[in-house]
Structure formats: structure tokens, C-alpha cells
Amino acid sequence: METEERNGIIDYNVPPPQPVGIYGWRKRCLYAFLLSLMVVVVINLALTVWILRVLDFSLDGMGRLKITPKGFRLQGEAEFLKPVYVDRLKSEEGKDLYIQSSKAVKLLAVDHNKRITSKVVIGQNNITAKCDEFVVEDSRGNRNLLISKNKVTLGTGDVSFPGEITLDGSIRTPNIISPEKKPLEIRSDTSKIQISGTAGVSVNAQAGNTTIRATDNIMIVSTAGSIQINSPNILLQGLPRADPSLLSYSAMPSTSSSSSLPVYQLCVCENGRVFLGLPMGDCRSSSQLCSSSHP
């Protein structure tokens, strides 16, 4: 029994000390809070396990997305909702790589300042490439197509066009060959065609005809050399004929002899016009036939 001494008097009725702890409604609230916290923790653990189960998380990756020492490996299809930045993208060995988009597929290349230097857009009906130089090579590294600001280069060998081709500028090529068993037609509907070669121009038809047709004049000019026509048969059709009235009566052939002479003389005017003279006599022509305005 504890006692307390006051002014020399011992008091044996000292009140007992108060107990230490939480009692009453505080204790019940604490237990309720701990119980609620335990329920929340259990629910969170259950949801975490369910998410890991559904997404197939493992030490190798998530589902079909596996983590490898060289990067990520994805098996199957994947849908990307935001931009994807990769150093290299390739398919599984022996399988194709498919890239699909409901609108367009854009491939961009940027420099160190984040500026776009090259861009390829695969749309629903077209493919657009924006770059300073567009190059197409074959499997051996040979350049088949080069498009730059100043020129377009097509391959290192033969280039075949199954249909028509329209050129707004000039074309530089060593040979222009028609398709097999089809004619070659070079046409300018509203302007002129100019074919030039520093060392020469050759037009060759090995198994057919070569036709040069014009509504106006056809001019063949050689400034330093000559113009040669080498053929066993040279036909000049549609040449004008001299008026038979220009032939004097003494030089006119008899009826019997004229019928056996269907050969005309080839005459040339002073201005270079060629016409057919009468079979007999010298070349005579009227001023109208040798004039420059004569058709």
C-alpha cells in the first residue's frame, strides 16, 4: 500500500494512477481504420495480381513484347497510339513486316536541331517523298533511279516505258529504242522537236521504214560537211512538172517516140527547187515554177 506524507501526517487514501493507452470510442475508431486499411491493401494486391495476370508480365517482358539484350521483340500485332522512336525496325526472320494505318503512314528523318530533312508519306491513294535526293537501288547496289533538284537519272542500263511518256524539259540518252514489234513515235503537238548530238545523230530502222512527216517544211542543213543519200533506189514523188507548152515545136518528140519515153529530166532552179523537165529538149521552166512562193 502506498502512502503519502503531508506535514508529518501519513495519508493512506491516495487515488490509484490512471491507465496508459486508448480506450473507449477512440479504440473502436482505430480498429475500424486498421480494418478498412487492411481491406484496401488486400484489394490493391488482388488488382495488382489481376493486372499482372492479364497483361502477362514476366521477367522477360510483357505478353508478346519481350525484352532482349539488343532491344525489344514483339510477336504478333501491336497498336501504337503515340509516336514511336526506334533505331532499327525489322521483322522476325523468314516473315514479313506489316505497317498499317487507317489514315497515312509517315516516315520522318530529322537532324540534330529537330528539323525534318526527309519525309515519306504513304497515303490512301498516293506516296509522297520530300527530300533533296531520292535514290532507288537494286539488291546489288546499282542505282536504278535518282531524282534531285537539277536532274533525273534513270538506271544504268535499258529503261522501258510500256505506255506514253510526256516530258516538259529535255532528255539526255544515248539510245531511244521502240518496243519489240512496235513503232517508235516522237511527237510534239504544239511546239517543235530538237534532236542534237555533239558527235552525230543516227536514226536507224533495221527491219522497217523511217518516216519524217511535217505539215510545213523539212530542212536538212550541213554547215561544214555534205549531205549524202546512199541507196540503189531513190524516189522523188510529187515533184512539179514543166509546162509542155514551153518546149519548142522542133524539140517536141513524135507521138510514137513520146509514148516510149516515160522518163523526165530532173531540173533544178536557181533557188534550189527541183522539178521534172520534159523528156526532150533542155530544162525550161516558167518564172512561176521557180519562184519561192510556188507550192
Q: Measuring CA to CA, which residue among 114, 120, 116, 115 is closest to residue 135? A: 120
Confidence of residue 279 (pLDDT cuts 50, 70, 90): confident
Whole-number Å distance between alpha carbons of 157 and 154: 8
pLDDT (tens digit per residue) in 111-170: 888 888 899 999 888 888 888 888 888 888 888 888 888 877 777 666 666 767 777 777
Domain chopping of the chain, boundaries: 1-87, 97-131, 136-196, 235-295
CA distance 262 to 246: 18
Q: How far, in Å, CA of 43 to CA of 50, rounded?
A: 10
CA 166 to chain centre: 16
pLDDT tens track for 74-99: 777 777 788 777 777 777 777 887 78
**Taking the model in full, what pTM does it have?**
0.40
**Residue 259's pLDDT is what?**
47
| Averaged pLDDT for residues 230-241 | 80
Rounded Cα distance, 179 and 162, in Å: 8
Please report the pLDDT score of residue 47 as a whole number: 94
Which DSSP symbol is given to 281? S
Per-residue confidence band for 262, with pLDDT thresholds at 50, 70 and 90: low
